[in-house]
Amino acid sequence: MSKSFANVKKLAEEHGARILDLKFMDFPGMWQHFSTPISLLTEDLFVDGFGFDGSSIRGWQAIHESDMLVIPDASTALIDPFMKPATLSLVCDVYDPLTKEKYSRCPRNIAQKAEAYVRTSGVADIVYFGPEAEFFIFDDVRFDQNEHSGYYFLDSVEGCWNSGKDEGPNLGYKPRYKEGYFPVPPTDAFHDMRSEMLLTMEDCGLEVECHHHEVATGGQAEIDLKFGPLVKTADSLLLYKYIIKNTARKYGKTVTFMPKPLYNDNGSGMHVHQSLWREGQPLFAGSGYAGLSDMALHYIGGILKHANALIALTNPTTNSFKRLVPGYEAPVNLAYSSRNRSAACRIPVYSDSPKSKRIEFRCPDPSCNPYLAFSAMLMAGLDGIANKIDPGEPLDKDIYDMSPEELADVPSTPASLSDALDALAADHEFLLRGDVFTEDVIETWIGYKRENEVDQMRLRPHPYEFALYYDI
């Protein structure tokens, strides 16, 4: 019996697990799962896997070649904190049943290849990622779209729009628009819920740094995970989302990681901190701008050069581009700075320690598939290092004090998902190195997004168009 399987078996027995839950990542970026009796937890499962229908998973196999395998990763074993029968949860890799090789469109496989590419490149032996995902906690959400109507309705006990509502009684204490950053309770109505989220994460083995209310009204929040290796951090982010959504449901609330659910207030981003290390030593610390090494500046150069293409993977929804607009703290300027938060790349200056030296890419949002997004950012940064790409001069001015002539020299993020997909189609050679991404993955991603999201939005009348044009 292997040590890893023995540990999983022991965990199941200690908690009296009766159900085995197998989770894997679909192509767009959501966990999928199915469950079996715990009796199927055998050592053979970690070798032979378990079959399922891949044709029913978004962006995967055609129906005539639908059989796929999942093989669990023993290192991801935990007891699910929400299931009533004691349930052992395992994250799986997806395999082709004929070749017994990892499936090229499995996002976790792509992330594993990205980590391997770092090591074989000789640049570093580990890459760390630290995501800061934001989200909204709502009390009610309703939406519909059909041939003759389309609407959405959101509500939150924290919503500033409810200041005049008869709530029997209305106690006030609702964050004003753009003024939700760091208020104490009772204005911060969800402190205890977020604390339970944090403690549940810790019980599941996640390392959490802090939680707080975010800028927007209506229950915007943030819980920060500690940085970690690429694949492990992507695994952790999916568990993080799972815990947040299910904890909110216990409270009769609903959570969304949609980037821009509210009009005229801040959206939800996911700033991503990243750094390269070799033999236990940080490689981004140096004597250059903001205490960075040449390697770190070249990494930034790669991120900025390929930013338009990256955004098709880091901001992969049509809604993402309602956040990436000026005026709501969104980083729309493709430049770098040590303190300017409107710049796409920021260098945090909280500490002088070389170990804390990192770069922060501020464009991404939490709708992304983290395996793909982290891998793409890494590949862009490595391209910058390999080609010594100069990031140019830093943007250390207040963007709102700059003249139109100065602003004209600062490139901006794409205006739409369609534009970002065009950029990815034209610029993805850097992603193919080391066979990390494949042409099939890029083509499938672009085709799926165009057919299922861009075109579907383009074809439907928008409710606001009636306010603009009905009486035309």
**Choosing from 26, 214, 224, 265, which is the catalytic residue?**
214
- H helices within 315-369, ranges in order? 320-323
- Three-state SS across 143-168? EEECCCCEEEEEECCCCHHHCCCCCC
**Choosing from 73, 115, 132, 265, which is the catalytic residue?**
132
Rounded to whole angstroms, the Cα distance separating 121 from 126 reads: 11
Of 84, 81, 76, 91, nearest to 197 (Cα)?
81
Of 308, 276, 310, nearest to 295 (Cα)?
276
**Choosing from 26, 360, 383, 453, which is the catalytic residue?**
360
**Choosing from 108, 298, 362, 428, which is the catalytic residue?**
362
Please, are residues 274 and 378 in contact by the beta-carbon 8 Å criterion?
yes
Q: Is 150 exposed, middle or buried (0-12, 13-18, 19+ CB in 10 A)?
A: middle
Angle between helices 307-314 and 370-386 (to 10 degrees): 160
In the residue annotation, 222 being an active-site residue is answered as yes
In the residue annotation, 53 being an active-site residue is answered as yes
**Choosing from 115, 222, 235, 365, which is the catalytic residue?**
222
Neighbours of 465 (CB within 10 A): 11
Bridge-based pairing state of the strands 67-72 and 208-213: unpaired
**Choosing from 108, 194, 213, 271, which is the catalytic residue?**
271
In the residue annotation, 202 being an active-site residue is answered as no
In the residue annotation, 134 being an active-site residue is answered as yes
**Choosing from 21, 80, 134, 224, which is the catalytic residue?**
134
**Choosing from 13, 14, 44, 53, which is the catalytic residue?**
53
In the residue annotation, 406 being an active-site residue is answered as no
- Three-state SS across 179-190? CCCCCCCCCCCC
**Choosing from 341, 458, 460, 462, which is the catalytic residue?**
341
In the residue annotation, 119 being an active-site residue is answered as no
In the residue annotation, 306 being an active-site residue is answered as no
What amino acid positions are annotated as catalytic residues?
Answer: 53, 132, 134, 214, 222, 271, 341, 360, 362
